[in-house]
Amino acid sequence: MTQTQYGKVYINHLKDIIDRILESQYDKLEMAAKKIADTVQTGNTIFAFGCSHSGIIVEELFYRTGGFVLINPIFNPTLMLNTRPVTMTSRAERLEGFGREIIDQSPLKKGDTLLIHSVSGRNPVVVDAAIEAKEKGAYVIGLTNMTYSTQVTSRHKSGKKLYDIVDLAIDNCGDYEDSSIQIEDMKQKVAPTSTVAGAAIVNTIIVEASSMLLSRGIEPPIFHSSNVDGGDEFNKRVLDKYKDRIFYL
């Protein structure tokens, strides 16, 4: 009897998820890209926020070759995975009002765009962050797992989840709970998909936004690799050009 190669099952499952994103979410990705292009063109900037593993997608967007110079990450040390004990991140995500404070203390303003990534979308910190950002006049894009989020209750006092608050909700097309592969004789599923799917989604948005800006006669603010000849000099020029809209230096 041939043993199941569960690694191949996982990779094929990832392919299926990417296909579902392409088929069901691409219009929304284009909408997000247009909003980002508009934000750049009008002299505003882009922010991104996520907690613990959702924050990996913020890091994916931020300060890297091929990435947008105008992605300003909102990092809070209590919500990042180098916090010890790491279980503190789960507790902090559930604090009412904490997300409002995080956004209130950020430079986000009217006319900016904020991307919030939360797989379940149920915890108060992301709901409050979305509410506060909208009250400030920012456009809020939510990246979440609709299969997961619609099957759990909100932990926010309003009873709402991230997708209820944002201006545009994008589904990462993942599985309930995010774990995806059922191995025979094992109760708990293995291997999340949200990081792979999320990275594909946000980079697709940046590619489309860059194309839109170029069609408007605007050079997209993209980083070169600092490990190629001339990369440091190029990056310094683009950082200087947009220094008034960059808050991570």
**pLDDT tens-digit profile of 121-151?**
999 999 999 999 999 999 999 999 999 999 9
Question: Taking 90 as the threshold, does the pLDDT of residue 2 lie above it?
Answer: no
Q: Quote the mean pLDDT of the chain.
A: 97
Query: Among all chains, which residue has been given the structure tokens 């950020």?
Result: 106
- The pLDDT confidence band at residue 207, using thresholds 50, 70 and 90, is very high
Contact status, residue 197 vs residue 172, Cβ threshold 8 Å: yes
Q: Residue range 62-72: average pLDDT?
A: 96
CA distance 188 to 84: 26
3 state SS of 50: strand
Q: Does the 6-243 domain belong in CATH 3.40.50.10490?
A: yes
CA distance 145 to 63: 26
CA distance 205 to 230: 27
Residue spans per domain, the chain:
6-243
3 state SS of 160: coil
- Closest-CA residue to 107 (of 198, 62, 46): 46
Contact status, residue 81 vs residue 53, Cβ threshold 8 Å: yes
